[in-house]
Structures are given as C-alpha cells and as structure tokens.
Structure 1
Amino acid sequence: MKLKEGLTNEDKKMMRSVFWRSWTMNISRTGATQYHAVGVMYTLMPVINRFYKTKEEKADALVRHTTWFNATMHINNFIMGLVAAMERQNSEEESFDDSSITAVKASLMGPLSGIGDAFFWGILRVIAAGIGISIASTGSAMGAIVFLALYNIPAFIIHYYALYSGYSVGETFIQRMYQSGGMQILTKASSLLGLMMMGSMTASNVKFKTILEVGVKGSEEVMMIQDYLDQLFVGLVPLIVTLLAFWLLRKKVNVNVVMFGIMFLGIILGLLGVC
C-alpha cells in the first residue's frame, strides 16, 4: 500500500482504469510489426487523455505506441506504469526526449520477460499444476480449483502492484537495476529455478512401464523387461520420450503433431500389449 501513498485521487483513478484495461494487451495481436500495440494504446488511453490537452499531442502519443511490444503478462504492467510516469514527465517538460519512452519500453521487454516467463510459466504454473494434479488424481474436483487459485491469485496481485511500482519508481529504475547487477541476478536465479521445476515435473508426470516379459529356456521363470530397464536407468524411456519431444519441437514440428503422435503411440503400444 506504500506505493499509493504519494498518489493523488486523480492518479489512483487513472491507474485503476489502466489496470483493468491492461488485461486486454495479450489478446490484441495485429501482426509482426505491431504485436500487442493496439492493447498497449488502449491500456494507456487514460494516461494520454489526462496528461495531453490537444488532439495533436494525443495523436503523437498514440503513434509512439504503435511500435512492436511483447512482454510476459502480469509483469508487463510494470512497463505500463513506467511508461505512464514518463508520459506525464513528457507532458510537463518541453526538453524531455519522447523517444526515450519507446527506448525504455524496448529495453525492458527482454529482461522482464526473462524473469516473468521463468517465474510464471516455469515456476508458479508448474507448482500450481503439480499440486492441482495431485489432488485431482484422488478423484477430487478441488484439484482444478486449487490449481486456478494457486496460479491466478498471486498473478493477479503481482499484475496489480507491478503497475503501481512502475509508476512510482519512474524512469530511473532500469539504470539502477543494471548498475547494481540486480537484473542479471534475478534473471539467472529465476531461470535456474524454472529449469529445476520443469525437470521435477517431467520426472513426476511422464510415465512408461512395459509389461513385456521374456521366458527363460528350461525354466518357468520369466524376465520382466521393465526390471532390466530400471536397473539401467530409472525413468529411461520417459526421459527418451521427453527429449525426443523437445527435439521435434526444436525442428519446428507442430506441437499438435507431437502431442497426438505420443497419444497414438501410447494407444498402439497398449493394444499390442507392450505397456
């Protein structure tokens, strides 16, 4: 709540409007050169309408935000808050270089997306899904509810306060973060933790157990193929399947082809009595 202490009632009203509009950013895709640009302009309209008085000034501001924009949802609001603060400064200072607004947007997309993708897609979603799947596997419908709650509640809160923090810190944030080395540390730590969670999720949820058995000549005993696979490497086949899927995706094979291919392979192996 300290983020709001220095804001006037008009500021708070404007930021609330920006917040609710910001949910439309990731659903407005208009081509490679204007990715999410329409959503960005719609999100910033309360800022532009408040700080610029003439039609020419408003038009210039809108044209400025027709550039390509793409950052992780929930954390991209930090950029919107920062841009709102810079638009305000631009409207108040004649000497302000408005090209710096576009430059800051472009420079923040990559670093913040590196943190946001690792945290939201690689950590928060995986943890929420793991807990939800565990509950759902017992037959409880609460699994889906728990998953949605564990993911969306933190995401909503971060999406909200990222906007206010961006507006509060102003344009010097990126300089301070890079000078202190904090951006590199956060990006590296989030990436490592995300990879660990993805590995744990793969080991827990990709399953393959063959029921093939081989008879021993002159004996009634049989050899279970799965026992020998486990002796070589526990989870060897699931690991191979996972790596094969990643390899196919890197070769630009459509994800639906990979998904249905694995599904059909499982059905065929099941009908043949392999697993």
Structure 2
Amino acid sequence: MAKKELSKKTLKKSFWNWFYGNLTCFSQEHMQTFGYLVSMLPVVEELYDNKDDQKKAMETYTAFFNTEPQIGTVVVGITAGLEEARANGEEIDGEMINGIRAGLMGPLAGIGDSLIVGTLIPILLGIGLGLSEGGSPLGAVFYIIVWNVLAIFGMRMLYFKGYELGGKAVEMMVGEKANAIRESVIMVGTIVIGAVAASWINVTTAFKMVNSEGGTIIDLQSTLDGIFPKLLSALTVIFCWWLMKKKKLSPTIVMLILVIIAFAGVLLGIFNPGLSY
C-alpha cells in the first residue's frame, strides 16, 4: 500500500482554517475546540477515504483545547503530522494525540502570552502611539500592517515546522530549555510593560493649599515629585493591576472606574479639567 502523504494544498488549507477560525464558536465550555476541528478537517478528509474512518479520526479533536492562538499554531502542525503517521499504520492512537495536545497547550499558552501579548504587542503599540502623535494615522497603519505580517508568516512557519517534527517537537516545547526560554520571555515582557507604562501614563494632581493672601503653602504634585517622580502614575498602574488580577474585573470595568475617579477628581479640584490623566 502506498504511503499516504498530506499535500501542500491540504496543509495550507488546514493552516488558514486555524488562522481565521481558531476562535470559531468560542465559549467557556469549548474554547478553541471548534477552531481545532475546522483546521483538522481537510487533513482527515485527505488521509481517509472511508466516512467512518474520517468520523473516528475527527472524534479525537473534540476534546477541550485552549492555548495562545499564535504560538499554539505549532500544536496543530504537530497533530497534522501525527495524524498522517496514524493513517500510515504507525502505533499512534487518539489518546496519545490528545495527551500531546493537553501537555502542550498549557506551556505554550504561558510562552505565547508572555512573548506575544506581554512583549510583542506592547512594543508594536508603543511604536504606533509614537507615530500617532498629533493625530497622524501612520501609527494605526503601522500596527495593522506589521502585526498581520508577523502573525501570518510567524504562524505559518510554526505550523509547518510542527508538521515536519511531529512528536519530536514535544520535547522542544516543554523540555528544560523551553522552560528556561519561557522564564526569560516572562522577564522581558515584564520589563517592556513597565517601560510602556512609564512612557505613556502620566497622572498628576492639581491639588494645592493656599493661604489667605493667595500664596501656595503646599503644592502636592511638587511634594510627590520630590519624594518619588511619577508616583501617581505608578500607583495608577498598580491599582489597575490589582483590580484585574486580584478582583478579576474586566478591562472595560477598570476603564469605567478610572473615568469615574477622574470625573470626581475634577469636581473636587484634585485634577485639572482638560489634562490627560
């Protein structure tokens, strides 16, 4: 019997299905499961002619799956390679494939969130904000183009590299070296987020105590600057982190809270109206 091999056309279709559909029918119960099914469908259809075999193979991918979509592309590529090996009679079953998927999705989510969400996106947004000064649309254009180019080519490379490596990619993704890389990326991401916060968040107070003759007794902002420059900005960042991390509030709710605080601060004379906080 001739060896079954996935065509480039099928692999490309599988990749694009994941690229556009990784969050298809997203829910708390299934997360990215349906997106995974959509991406594996062309793979299974090419490898198996019998409908019952196709159905049995697809049942493997109905298990819960959720990871960082960009870095997680490599898992889809790996399982495409494993499915090809299974179709050629190698001792690979659905339990083994799901074990590999379950074992990879957690570590890759940590790596992806640190590298993509915590590092790459803040860097691109920081550059875009700088280019947008004065109302220029160049920043938005820069972010849209650069992000999509990096996402498409990066995810495509990961998919095909995962397919080529198959099960051998597991040790690369979750081994000791991968853990060291993950910790390094987390550190870099933390530094980048801190730099972005220091550069773009500027919270100041207009509160002053004056005497009967109109002279200033206490200028609160000058006093705070003498103690710790940009102290209010740092406290604002910590406050937002506390609300989202500890109190589990959504970013939208946090923004509404900041608006309420700013509004009340203007009414009480703590902030100056018309300034950016």
SS at match of 1:208: coil
- Do the aligned partners of 2:24 and 2:34 also contact (CA within 8 Å) in 1? no
1:166 maps to 162
- Cα distance in 2 between the residues matched to 1:241 and 1:148: 29
1:13 maps to 9
TM-score by structure 2 length? 0.89
1:259 to 255, 258, 277: 255
Q: Note the C-alpha offset of 1:177.
A: 4.9
- Percent of pairs with identical residues: 25
Q: Note the C-alpha offset of 1:30.
A: 4.1
1:27 aligned onto 2:24? yes
1:56 aligned onto 2:27? no
- Cα distance in 1 between the residues matched to 2:90 and 2:199: 59
Q: Deviations over 1:44-77 (max 9, x none)?
A: 1111001112122111111111111011112221
- Cα distance in 1 between the residues matched to 2:99 and 2:73: 16
1:122 aligned onto 2:118? yes
1:73 to 65, 69, 72: 69
1:248 aligned onto 2:261? no
Where does the alignment leave 5 or more consecutive residues of structure 1 unmatched?
Answer: 1-7
Instruction: Give the root-mean-square deviation of aligned CA atoms.
Output: 2.0
Q: Note the C-alpha offset of 1:17.
A: 0.5
- Cα distance in 1 between the residues matched to 2:172 and 2:251: 40
- After TM superposition, the runs of 4+ consecutive aligned structure 1 residues lying more than 3 A away are 176-179, 216-223
2:34 maps to 38
> Closer, same or farther in 2 for the Cα pair 1:116/1:178, shift >3 Å?
closer
1:209 aligned onto 2:204? yes
2:275 maps to none
> Closer, same or farther in 2 for the Cα pair 1:148/1:267, shift >3 Å?
same
Q: Deviations over 1:163-216 (max 9, x none)?
A: 11000111111135545x221122111111111111111112222111222235
Q: Note the C-alpha offset of 1:86.
A: 0.3
2:221 maps to 226
Q: Note the C-alpha offset of 1:138.
A: 2.5
- Cα distance in 2 between the residues matched to 1:167 and 1:82: 5
- Cα distance in 2 between the residues matched to 1:94 and 1:125: 41
- Do the aligned partners of 2:204 and 2:233 also contact (CA within 8 Å) in 1? no
> Closer, same or farther in 2 for the Cα pair 1:70/1:219, shift >3 Å?
closer
> Closer, same or farther in 2 for the Cα pair 1:151/1:95, shift >3 Å?
closer
- Do the aligned partners of 1:132 and 1:147 also contact (CA within 8 Å) in 2? yes
- Cα distance in 1 between the residues matched to 2:213 and 2:256: 43
TM-score by structure 1 length? 0.89
- Do the aligned partners of 1:30 and 1:38 also contact (CA within 8 Å) in 2? no
Q: Note the C-alpha offset of 1:119.
A: 1.1
Where does the alignment leave 5 or more consecutive residues of structure 2 unmatched?
Answer: 272-277
Q: Deviations over 1:90-111 (max 9, x none)?
A: 1111533331111111111011
1:103 maps to 99
- Do the aligned partners of 2:172 and 2:178 also contact (CA within 8 Å) in 1? no
